[in-house]
Amino acid sequence: MNKDSLKALTNAHAWVGLVISTILFIIFFAGSISLFRDDINVWELNPHYAVNEQSESLSLDRVISTVAKEYNINTHGYFILSMPSVEQPLANLYFEEKLSDDEHVDQHFILAPNGKIIGNGNGSSWGDFLYELHYNLHIPEVGLYFVGIVSLFFFVALLSGVVIHWRKIISKFFQYRKEGKKDKLLDAHNLIGVMGLPFHIMYAFSGLVFNLLIIYQISYAVVLYGGDQSKLLTAAGVVDVHLEETKIVLPVQGIDNLYLTAKATLGEVSINRISIDHFGDESASVTFRGADKSQFSTRKEATYHIASGRELYLTKDNFDNDLRGGLAVISSLHFGDFAGYLIRVLFFTLGIGTCYIILTGNLMWIQKKANLRVEKQNTMGLKLVYAMTTGGFIGTIFASAIGFVFARIIPIDYVGRSDLIAYIFFGCLFSAIVVSLNIKAQKQFAAIFLKITAGALALTPLMDWLFVSQGIMAMLNVGYYHVIVVEGMLLSLALFCWLIAARLFVNKRIEVDNEIGNVINTLVQE
């Protein structure tokens, strides 16, 4: 590649990275935390309903009978039971309650290992909030596709970065120059980028698959199947076992026996999800789904007609379809749920490292523009990028830290709890951006803001032991360490923020000392 082409590609790489930087930072930071989504959900909820023993005596029929007597479950809605597991000792029941023909309400109940309802979980969704922030930014309808487009540009930035540094990837792999600020940022940017390249490519590709899947689906349906989407779904392995409603009311019972049948049929599968279609109708069916831990990313399921016990669908080989199996593999890679905590810690580290790559890319652009002659500078653009880097990046971490604090101190049964925490998160983020836009001393502000953020992150573990210590101890006594995992993650982020803040203070003192030295030298010469 000649010099002009390389320069043009470098500029394109810089501008693409700059345009998507703030959104990409939010996606990767929220995604890194979401690797521990199940732990966060347990951390938030279980200490309030901690159980002192493990149990496998959950009676599905008893749970269903109890709920059906007290609530008018919508026949046309969903009914899902998330079973107790090694990771989650409490069962979670989700269904849609019918209040009238036009009014329905979502219900979420917490069940003890013996099936008794012990609490309402509608307000305990902080982990799910962070996960949704990761994949659609909490923007209704279009957010999913917007994140997909950002993933596409991220993929372009990755490829252009590889081309730019291709000749020096091997020879300059371990290079880290401490003398020049620009060189130091560039070397850190390149080193972390090259070391995490397989990770970045995997996330860019899987993000495209998940977020823009509807575009591929429409394209394939039009081009390959002449617009017949049913043929596409059949080829994709989507098996339709839906039965038409008979309008004949029939109580749901016999699920315990069907559960035993499913376990015997599916083999070495830990059934973690049970769903009922057409609840209360004679046509109702039940689906048992779980993962085969003896194989990589293999999911199996069985569906039965409840009234007759007739088998409607059975898979013993990852949904019996290469496409669905391939998507399951991509899903496992994306969520890092195929090898326990070690792989999630590795992915978390690489995810935070990616956030640092985004940060160094912005800082290099800011430094380059700041060094231009005054008449060539776009001061408004420079100020905006600086504010979005400081307020947007640090503001995301700060808002998440405050979210964790309020997820612990707000009573678990407070009405509107989830919405309140969401408002607090976005309020903190937008306030950080607005304040940053009106601050001139960005470095000092960033250093102070990082230390405040570190303090907020470290505050959550303290709140844990002040408010729910008994529940935490009950969990630890039966071998559930999710609270410790979450606290360890928060403390590691707090340490990371504090070290960067300390470094910024040191660099600022060096700059001030240099400026004073230059002034003194000028006076001496005069």
Q: What is the pLDDT of residues 364-374, one digit of tens each?
A: 888 877 776 55
pLDDT band for position 487 (50/70/90)?
A: very high
The pLDDT of residue 177 is: 55
Beta bridge partners of 356: none
pLDDT band for position 504 (50/70/90)?
A: confident
The pLDDT of residue 523 is: 35
Indicate whether 463 pLDDT > 80. yes
pLDDT band for position 521 (50/70/90)?
A: very low
CA–CA–CA angle 217, 220, 225 (5° rounding): 120
Q: How many CB atoms lie within 10 A of CB 454?
A: 24
Give the full edge-to-edge strand order of the sheet including 117-120.
117-120, 104-111, 91-98, 79-82, 270-277, 285-292, 298-305, 311-314
Sequence-distant (≥ 6) Cβ neighbours of residue 461 within 8 angstroms? 487, 490, 491
Indicate whether 113 pLDDT > 80. no
Indicate whether 190 pLDDT > 60. yes
The better pLDDT of the pair 217, 414 is held by: 414
The pLDDT of residue 67 is: 94
| CA–CA separation, 436 and 430 (whole Å) | 10
| CA–CA separation, 318 and 301 (whole Å) | 9
| CA–CA separation, 479 and 339 (whole Å) | 19
Indicate whether 98 pLDDT > 70. yes
pLDDT band for position 81 (50/70/90)?
A: very high
pLDDT band for position 127 (50/70/90)?
A: very high
Would you kindly state where each structural domain of the chain is located, as residue ranges? 3-45+129-210+336-522
Beta bridge partners of 291: 270, 299
CA–CA–CA angle 128, 341, 500 (5° rounding): 75
CA–CA–CA angle 399, 403, 407 (5° rounding): 175
Look at 293-307, 395-409, 441-455 and tell me which has the smallest mean pLDDT: 293-307
The better pLDDT of the pair 226, 374 is held by: 226
| CA–CA separation, 522 and 397 (whole Å) | 43
Indicate whether 43 pLDDT > 90. yes
Which parts of 115-212 fold into alpha helices (H)? Answer: 126-136, 143-165, 181-195, 197-211
Sign of CA dihedral 104, 108, 112, 114: positive
> 349-360 burial string, b = 16+ CB within 10 Å, else e?
ebbbbbbbbbbb
Sign of CA dihedral 47, 49, 52, 54: negative
Cβ–Cβ < 8 Å for 509, 445:
no
| CA–CA separation, 65 and 390 (whole Å) | 54
Tens digit of each residue's pLDDT (9 = 90 or more) over 312-359: 999 877 777 777 778 888 888 899 888 789 999 999 999 999 999 999
Indicate whether 25 pLDDT > 80. yes
Q: Is 282 helix (H, G, I), strand (E, B) or coil?
A: coil
Over residues 404-412, mean pLDDT: 95
| CA–CA separation, 390 and 450 (whole Å) | 9
**What are the tokens at 123?**
């307000």
- Percentage of the residues of the chain whose pLDDT score is greater than 70: 86
pLDDT band for position 31 (50/70/90)?
A: very high
**What are the tokens at 408?**
């612990």
Indicate whether 387 pLDDT > 90. no
The pLDDT of residue 524 is: 39
Cβ–Cβ < 8 Å for 34, 154:
no
Over residues 94-107, mean pLDDT: 93
CA 203 to chain centroid: 12
Token pair 């279980």 is at which residue?
A: 46
The pLDDT of residue 424 is: 97
Beta bridge partners of 301: 289
- Percentage of the residues of the chain whose pLDDT score is greater than 90: 52
**What are the tokens at 36?**
């521990």
